[in-house]
Structure 1
Amino acid sequence: MSIPTSALRIKFLRESSRANPPSVATPGSAGMDLRADIDDETLTIAPGARAAIPTGIAIEIETPGLAGFVYSRSGLGAKHGLTVAQGVGVIDPDYRGEIIVWLLNTADEPRTISRHERIAQLILAPVVRPVVIAVEELGDTRRGSGGFGHSGKV
């Protein structure tokens, strides 16, 4: 299976980030791993605390209609409790500043990350800007306005 490609211009803000650029782990990986470009060798995040982790890069997405999305790395989140603090970070196509990843420690004990450790993954995905149309009524559906738990557990 071939994954489509798009040009992504990367500006390295520090030499340490140039030596450890974002990369994909396998040919089939959906996301590029972002690395911690921290000043110290390690950074410890207390239980329940958040930390802003610089990546040392800024990007320019060349393909119109795409934006960057920063997701948690599954192993870091599931095994160690370090997740992207806001759920998913959005990198707007016109943003040119450093990508900062906010990590949240959901574990019951402190977690430490190391300089250049893979901390999150960047995925480019299409975006659609809606044209808002005010209406008095919405179309009918089988579900209607049924909310949480409406369809049952099974």
Structure 2
Amino acid sequence: MTPAPVDVLIRRIDPAVPIPSRAHPGDAGVDLVTTEAAELAPGERAVLPTGVSIALPDGYAAFVHPRSGLAARCGVAMVNAPGTIDAGYRGEIKVIVINLDPRETVRFQPFDRIAQLVVQRVETVRFHEVAELPGSARASGGFGSTGGHAGTDNPYAAVGPGGTADRKGQ
């Protein structure tokens, strides 16, 4: 069963901006466009306006995610991905982009799609201070502690015929 849609109020700051929509049925995010032309040389960043502001219901937040196509084709990323829009924020949604391509300049025109917006329910939490946390299987392991990169001690890095790993020293 498909959950009921969440009603979100939207204000077009620029009346020509399309209401954000999904590119395909079932997509998690809606497309955001920029209202300004911009040119980013390699390493440059810019804050691009989207021409819209929203009012989310309490208990929700919107997250601005990068577009995979811009990253793959142009080397464009978001500096603070994902950007968080709290339920109480009423200002224009803006996207901080950076050109990570080492050689090519990236150009944006008005109404180019620059990011996607995902609205999600968020939990209200209450913190309880304790002297020690309960144990877990992971404990304090983090920052690559499970491997997964060819330059690390990864037991799955060299998988041989039949799916067996060729483990050095084993």
Q: Note whether the superposition's TM-score is higher than 0.5.
A: yes
Residues 43-62 of structure 1 aligned to structure 2 (within 5 Å): 43-62=38-57
- Structure 2 SS opposite 1:136: coil
Q: How many Å separate the matches in 1 of 2:4 and 2:108? A: 32
Displacement of 1:2? 4.1
Q: Deviations over 1:105-133 (max 9, x none)?
A: 11112111111011000000121232111
Equivalent position amino acid for 1:15 in 2? P
Q: Does the aligned pair in 2 maintain the 1:66–1:126 contact within 8 Å?
A: yes
Q: Does the aligned pair in 1 maintain the 2:54–2:90 contact within 8 Å?
A: yes
Alignment of 1:98 with 2:92, yes or no, is yes
Which among 28, 33, 36 is matched to residue 35 of structure 1?
33
User: Which protein is richer in strand relative to its size?
Assistant: 1
- Percent identical among aligned pairs is 39
- Structure 2 SS opposite 1:11: strand
Which among 53, 61, 67 is matched to residue 73 of structure 1?
67
Structure with more contact order per residue of length (Cα contacts < 8 Å, sep ≥ 6): 1
Q: TM-score, normalised by structure 1?
A: 0.88
Q: How many Å separate the matches in 2 of 1:120 and 1:4? A: 24
Q: Deviations over 1:65-119 (max 9, x none)?
A: 1110000011111221112211210011110010111111111121111110110
Q: How many Å separate the matches in 2 of 1:3 and 1:105? A: 38
Which among 130, 144, 147 is matched to residue 149 of structure 1?
144
Residues 15-26 of structure 1 aligned to structure 2 (within 5 Å): 15-17=15-17, 20-26=18-24
Which ranges in structure 1 are unaligned for 5 or more consecutive residues?
none
Q: How many Å separate the matches in 2 of 1:82 and 1:8? A: 28
Q: How many Å separate the matches in 2 of 1:79 and 1:10? A: 31
Displacement of 1:24? 0.9
- More moved, 78-87 vs 66-75: 78-87
Which among 121, 126, 137 is matched to residue 121 of structure 2?
126
Q: Does the aligned pair in 2 maintain the 1:85–1:102 contact within 8 Å?
A: yes
Q: Does the aligned pair in 2 maintain the 1:3–1:28 contact within 8 Å?
A: no
Q: How many Å separate the matches in 2 of 1:139 and 1:82? A: 41
